Structure 1
Amino acid sequence: MNTVIIQPPLVQLNTPYPSGAYLLSFFRKTYEERHLSGKTEWLDLSIALFHEIFSEEGLRKLFSLTENDALIAAQKAEDNYDDDTAFQIRRYISEQDLWCSWIDIICEISCSSGRFSGKEYKHEFVRSAHIPRGMRMERYLSEIGKAPSADDSEVLASLALADIADYITAIFDNNFSLIRYAESAASSDMPFSKIEEASNSPVMKYFYEPLLKRLLSNYINIEEKTLFCISLPFPGTVTAALFTAKFIKKQCGHNAIIAFGGGFINTELRNTEEKKLFDYIDFISYDRGYGSYLSLLDKAKSDQLKNVLNGEQFYKIKYIHNGKIINPLWSDEFYEKKEDLLTKEIIPEFSEIDFSRYPRLADTDNPMQRIWSDGAWMKLFLAYGCYWHKCAFCDTSLEYVNHYCKNEINNLFYGIKKQAKKTGVYGLHFVDEACPPVSLEKFALLNCMDEQKPRFTFWGNIRFEKTFTKDLVDLLSYGGLTGVSAGIEIATGNGLCSVNKGTDMQNIVSACCAFKEAGILIHSYMIFGFWNQSEQDLIDSMETLRQFFEEGLLDSAFWHKFTLTLHSTVYFEWKEGKHPDLKPLPQKKNSFSENTIHYEGENKSEKYSYALNNSLSNWMKGNNLSEDVRTWFDFKMPLPSIKKNFIHCLVNNYEKEKNKQFSNTEKGFFIWIGGKVIILKSANESCQLSWTYMGELLYADVTKNKAETIAKLLYSIKPENCSKNENDSLGMSTNELIDILGKELFVQLRGKGLCKLLSKP
């Protein structure tokens, strides 16, 4: 049996979505252990569709299909006195030959695929008068305040792609988006029939269908059975997934076995009774998928998966039999243990992905926001689930949150290092719900100790909490961490309690201080519009966020509007009789998606959106940081009850606590992450040691007879110089160090290169 894992369009363009990498590794491992034959591959049809459209051939087809409609739309806009829209559309049509001749160069500037060098074109692209231009490109050029240079070419190339996407959306297919296709259809209250209609769109018909015919040709008109695993991580992939399944059904007939899985399925279709969905697919696989596929494979011969779907229940498999929905077995101890073992063992398989095809979109000048889209990151997790899993707004009843299972870090590190050697990509994005601090520390240490260079650079999601001390964060920075994202949510004491965040403002500020001192970028998620949030609490949260930026503790942030979900703690508590002021509304009976629960008054907070987003946009650029937060609103808001120096005081507390920690000699294990210690010559019995740490040149006085011993000792406990043998200790204990350094020098070196480990090696 063949197995094809498909990522339908469109997802984030700069790097492949990781579910396919995990499933590919799972199937190859499973088939090898069971001695099953057949081809197993992963097709990223998201990036394939991008290149199908954004190419010379693709744009020639696009303009051929749309020129008449575009000119009609331009005339209609002009008749309605919308001269700017008419101008933009007509310019696209007039410059179509320029777009077609430049699009491959634009993609090469963004991708660096190696088909040809795009570097030399950068100078012409930013300056020539004979280059296609769109509204986004022109706006950027008008705002940079200087003559454009080759350094602006990557931004302009990203904006050029966005300009073409705007044309497609306006003239050809109003569902189109560069990131998530037809997202509004699947994420709204639409019935399944409307989503089916959205799947029969122009982009699907004229660009995606020819792509499917070409890439799936090896599985059409063959006798072998093929299992097609189609991943739906987001609402924006649903219509393309349906189109894909429909195409496979038609072309492959009874030899195709089609399954849906992924984040959208797990959250939105957990209780689905939509029988029409099974006209497209044979079954749904929930959560990680490992256990559900194993339960089918254990029952069936490799090429007879369909035959076992005969009315029997399977672990986390939903299907239809004789017109009746067969619901999953949600619990099975045998397969749960199997899944946890596989979670610890499986290394995502990226080695066959050509990362040079993925555009690095330089669509913002904010360094933290740019990290998301500018870089070919291999996405993976240190642990499945969340070690806290108690936030009130989160889907805490679902496995991807509440089932915490850590990876074996040694296995993960060396496994993904093999992938890096094959792909040439050494950037990692940990997509955990929250990276476990102990796992991060171990990964960073392995990154330092591994002799195979280059080392990894990585970033990921965390929780702002007290575990992220100055010691730990300095080590993580030394070991390759470059950015973190985490939720503050509601930046007040009451707000943190109301969402059960499990931390407080002092711990959040202290963590941010440590990260910023170590040169690590920070993004924060914010929430507004909680059903019981008062205007006072909102303005206090906004004022606190302003102070975070004023103190230089954040690089970027984003305001999310609270959404009540079926699987959240809040909704579960409401069903138990708590939160009487929360008034959920009945769900629409024919709605395809089920997770979003509407409630009375949910739209009353929308009036705050513009002021929150506008102020934040300015603060991220360092603008208007001293303005009264109330001035961003065009209606009266209460005076913040937060003191103007609230965050500054917490920063001072952090400094005091840090100095206190560095002055004590509590037990622990330590490593050296400072520079090589140099012994400075001296004529008397004392001499100086000198070393660098975080860009500073530091000094310490020692006796001459101990100088060389101390210098060698510190160099020996650098992680790069420690033994790779797991049975050997890493670093030295407090007592061992004090015996050689003395208490005074031990304290002097703390925070200046002598770093305490979070856990005993």
Structure 2
Amino acid sequence: MLSPSPRVLAVIPPMTQLNTPYPSTAYLTGFLRTRGIDAQQVDLALALVLELFTPAGLARLHEAVLASPEAGRTPQTAWFAAEFDAIAAAAPRVIAFLQGRDPTLAHRINTRAFLPEGARFASLDAYVDEDGGDPLAWAFGALGLQDRARHLATLFLNDLADVLRDAVDARFEFVRYAESLAAAQAHFDPLAEALAAAPNLVDTTLQRLTLAALEQHQPDVVLLSVPFTGSVYAALRIAQTIKAARPDVVCVLGGGYVNTELRELAEPRLFDFVDYVTLDAGERPLLALLEHVGGKRSKTRLVRTFWRDAGQVRYTNFVEPDIPFDDVGTPTWDGLPLDRYLSLLDMLNPMNRLWSD
């Protein structure tokens, strides 16, 4: 039997955003701590990207590229194979630069001689100064040294994401992962088939990170916050990994995607992966659910919660007032590696030098 005060781990699944923590787990963790609950949080979206671009992660990607027939390689995978040594040497420094740990690298990046350049850099060819001057001056101006380097470094990482997509997983993107599996789908079949398939390099990396988080935090309950369709597949992969390793851990699905797309949930197979699905503001449903997990409340008194019973989806909404705003507490970033987020710059400044100088 679980402890009367279960330990909770709130998880940000891939993909959300890489420049700053997605705030949902910070709010829930902060609130639960005000109620004396042992709550921790982890950002597996950031952890996944950082792990894929470590020397070990890039070496695994290199093996996957070399395992493919040379004649069938895309321009991006061919570039990666040819430039691998330079890419592997540059990647850790680029990550450190985007994390703000090596700002002086901007000078070398801006020379255009430091980074191996794949297809993403072709977009820069559109900006040619007819007078032979700096072709990117319009975007960054004289004071845009760091922003210019951030943009070039982001192009480099986007090149690597293209290689991952071409060689390993066509569904991979930095801001969404396998979005098409959950977007506008009338049936659960595409997700079920993808989750039943053999895991690829991205999946196995996420599995290792999930198991490491389980080992570190030893939770009784895992909260999977899913704000977007591009987070659903990874959230269920995480839950699948948890259930295989620790079937006693209670997995709960919630977040913006759930609130908008699963209000009429009737698919029992979803509960092969998670135990409960909660709707709307999470504070009251979670308190009720944690009381149930601790043996203090029956399932008939859960709040805005879906669950499975004898193969059928049930919805329980015991009427209780929501937590007043003044009582939800303060969000906490404790447990999130604020110094490891990536200050990416995908788009050039559309407002010209007015905003750069």
TM-score range, shorter chain: 0.7 to 0.9
- 1:281 maps to 274
Q: Cα distance, 1:250 vs. partner?
A: 1.1
Deviations 1:172-228 (A, max 9, x none): 1001001110111101325212112334452443321122222221356xxxx6011
Q: Cα distance, 1:265 vs. partner?
A: 0.6
Q: Cα distance, 1:243 vs. partner?
A: 0.6
- 2:342 maps to 359
Structure 2 counterpart SS, 1:133: coil
1:241 to 206, 226, 235: 235
Structure 2 counterpart SS, 1:158: helix
Flag structure 1 segments of 5+ consecutive residues without an equivalent: 75-84, 368-554, 556-619, 623-761
Q: Cα distance, 1:121 vs. partner?
A: 2.4
Deviations 1:15-43 (A, max 9, x none): 1111101110111112x2xxx5xx42001
Matched, 1:179 2:179: no
- 2:3 maps to none
Cα distance in 1 between the residues matched to 2:185 and 2:240: 23
Contact 1:260 1:284 in 2 (8 A): yes
- 2:216 maps to 218
Q: Which has the larger radius of gyration?
A: 1
Q: Cα distance, 1:326 vs. partner?
A: 1.7
Matched, 1:143 2:130: no
One-letter amino acid matched to 2:200: P
Structure 2 counterpart SS, 1:320: strand
Cα distance in 2 between the residues matched to 1:233 and 1:17: 9
Cα distance in 2 between the residues matched to 1:141 and 1:60: 30
One-letter amino acid matched to 1:198: A
1:2 to 7, 24, 30: 7
Evaluate the alpha carbon distance shift between residue 247 and residue 343 of structure 1 in structure 2; reply closer, same or farther with a 3 A threshold.
Answer: farther
Evaluate the alpha carbon distance shift between residue 129 and residue 15 of structure 1 in structure 2; reply closer, same or farther with a 3 A threshold.
Answer: closer
Structure 1 counterpart SS, 2:321: helix
Higher relative contact order (CA 8 A, sep 6+): 2
1:111 to 99, 124, 129: 99
Cα distance in 1 between the residues matched to 2:94 and 2:222: 34
Matched, 1:19 2:24: yes
Matched, 1:56 2:40: no
Q: Cα distance, 1:348 vs. partner?
A: 1.2
Moved over 6 A (4+): none
1:207 to 205, 208, 211: 205
Cα distance in 1 between the residues matched to 2:160 and 2:67: 17
- Count of aligned positions: 335
Cα distance in 2 between the residues matched to 1:91 and 1:60: 15
Cα distance in 1 between the residues matched to 2:234 and 2:40: 19
Alignment of 1:596-675 (within 5 A): none
Contact 1:229 1:259 in 2 (8 A): yes
Structure 2 counterpart SS, 1:6: strand
Cα distance in 2 between the residues matched to 1:131 and 1:351: 34
Cα distance in 1 between the residues matched to 2:11 and 2:55: 26
Cα distance in 2 between the residues matched to 1:122 and 1:14: 18
One-letter amino acid matched to 1:354: P
Taking structure 1 as the reference length, what is the TM-score of the superposition? 0.42
One-letter amino acid matched to 2:253: F
One-letter amino acid matched to 1:169: R
Cα distance in 1 between the residues matched to 2:12 and 2:289: 22
Matched, 1:262 2:255: yes
Matched, 1:42 2:47: no
- 2:140 maps to none
- 2:321 maps to 335
Matched, 1:325 2:313: yes
- 1:718 maps to none
2:152 to 153, 156, 162: 156
- Percent same amino acid among aligned pairs? 27
Structure 1 counterpart SS, 2:65: helix
Evaluate the alpha carbon distance shift between residue 130 and residue 17 of structure 1 in structure 2; reply closer, same or farther with a 3 A threshold.
Answer: closer
One-letter amino acid matched to 1:135: A
Cα distance in 1 between the residues matched to 2:353 and 2:135: 21
Contact 1:110 1:154 in 2 (8 A): yes
Cα distance in 1 between the residues matched to 2:87 and 2:135: 23
One-letter amino acid matched to 2:281: R
Contact 1:313 1:326 in 2 (8 A): no
Q: Cα distance, 1:124 vs. partner?
A: 2.3
Taking structure 2 as the reference length, what is the TM-score of the superposition? 0.85
One-letter amino acid matched to 1:269: L
Deviations 1:577-610 (A, max 9, x none): xxxxxxxxxxxxxxxxxxxxxxxxxxxxxxxxxx
Cα distance in 2 between the residues matched to 1:263 and 1:160: 31
Contact 2:250 2:275 in 1 (8 A): yes
Structure 1 counterpart SS, 2:115: coil
Q: What RMSD, in angstroms, separates the aligned Cα atoms of the two structures?
A: 2.6
Contact 2:40 2:217 in 1 (8 A): no
Contact 2:26 2:331 in 1 (8 A): yes
